[in-house]
Structure 1
Amino acid sequence: MQTSKFPSVRALDQLLDDLGASAARRRQLDMVRGELDRALERGALPVGARRSLRRLLEEEALGPYVRLAESGALRHRRVEGGLPPTSEATNEIRRKCVDLLREALGLPALRLGGGEIPLQPAPEAATLSALARQLDQYLTGPMSPAQTRLTAVRALELDTAARSGELVELRTTDLGEDNAAVYVERRPQGGGTVEGEWVETSALTRAALERWLDVRNPRPWAAAEPHGCVEELFAARFDLPAGARVRPVQDASRSECRGDQRHRPRRTAHTGPGCRRCRGPRRGSGGRGVRARRARGGRDASPSARSTDRKLKPALHAAADVEHY
């Protein structure tokens, strides 16, 4: 955090360091600290609040500060291009932080307006039942990894009624045997004693957790014997055109991989340019085999081609030696 040019804010930084608040409360106090610094920068607070921390936390300075902050004018970044008023929850947190700072300095709490935040109404039983039916329907079909995780989280929420902060703290080690229960640490809003309890999970939650754990920690791969004939396997793996058939070499390769000795291709000795392996006519007929050997510079190549080949061989061997070296 950037050091402020106002002595009162620098003294507030020292007070915050000595306060020993939790990480969540420290973020809230840093928000108030930043707003006070921007209010002083705008000249919205009394001049004496710039030098003295006690003057900064007096009601004469905190009253204008709270009104200006609730209007959104002290935001450190814009929201959709503007500075809208802060929410009721943020306003209540700001008032509690102000009282906490005053008490740390030995001043009484101000209790600046607003009162407690009204609680959100609990969802009706019909809404929860509809959500459970929807999650059960999701589990019967294919889901993406993100949807699988969200389904497990929603199922846990239906069973435990945990707050968002309590759900975030859950780990796989908090799950009981066969996912039959989950350990939840209750964290009361506004502070208090953290208490843990085991909550029994429903059949829906156990199925959702098992589905998600398979995605999170997939089982090790194991080879399995394929089923079906060769044509069916290749048609399922490749997009073959209509009427296409599997070549014999593919059938032989598959049989060889399976250890079937009967379908291994027999190797025959080469009997000359007219044999079945060459798949070409006899030498001298000008067929495909002769043309291929001429292109490679073999014995059927022209005398000029063989002469050129003899001239190039020493240079090629020298280049190969240099590359090897």
Structure 2
Amino acid sequence: MVNIIGVSVVVFGLMIYFVRSRDLAFAELADMNVALVNSQAQLIQAEKMASLGTLTAGIAHEVNTPIGVINSNADISERCIEKIVGAMERCGSIAELESDDQLKRSVQALQKTNRATRECSNRISQLVGSLKNFSRMDEAASQRVDLHEGIDSALNLIQHELKDRIDVVKEYGDLPRINCHVSELNQVFMNILRNAAEAIEGKGRITIRSSAAAGQVSVCIEDTGVGMRPDQVQRVFDPSFTRKGSRVRAKTGLFSSYQTVQKHDGEIKIESELGKGTAVTVVLSSTG
């Protein structure tokens, strides 16, 4: 009887020990999960800040150039107007005005600077419109949108990284509007496009193809860059993956893109061949 009681006490003690151990293990696992989620959030936030810094620098460059032209044209216009006023004061008749060579040159120069100023103003308006469309900060977070608009806005905002070096070929299909967090998906396309541009050494080409079938839409962005080895493709969504001087320079660009596409119940696939280029395909549901 004493032995049975003793064994029962031991078994009961072991049960308490294992239950407590299990609870501690669950608590530690929960803490690790919270830490992992926080780390992922920090990585994504770091990527967003890095991308914002690059985007801001690019936009500043793109805006400063036309502003410089507008300022220069304002000075030229002012001098032309002074010469026109002088000709009007100098000439005593319409016939003299019509034959005044300095007046003709001043009017022609004024017309030319006005055209250039209008072009620069249109470029700034285009950039502001693209930035607004890209961020969609004044609209609902989730809405039905045309993915092509976001891609075009992203291309316009990184034009300074492409012009005179990379040709962009658009092979757009007929896509239905899909329900998504538009600013987040726009960031995905910008990340992919920027990685494609960085992977191209010298001159090259980026081809964007889109299509819709069987309740899904797909967007494929293919570049003629340096490409990657199979082992690098397997690790490309790792937040620590980076190859200096190659396709992925921002450590978390594709990591955050993967997280965003997963959030939209989509899929992101990468095919790459070293020395030939890379194709990144984003597949999303068109029925959500």
TM score, norm. by length of structure 2: 0.20
Q: Counting helix residues as a fraction of each chain, which structure ranks higher? A: 2
TM-score, with length taken from structure 1:
0.18
Instruction: Please tell me whether Structure 1 or Structure 2 has the larger radius of gyration of its CA atoms.
Output: 1
Query: Which structure dedicates a bigger proportion of its chain to strand?
Result: 2
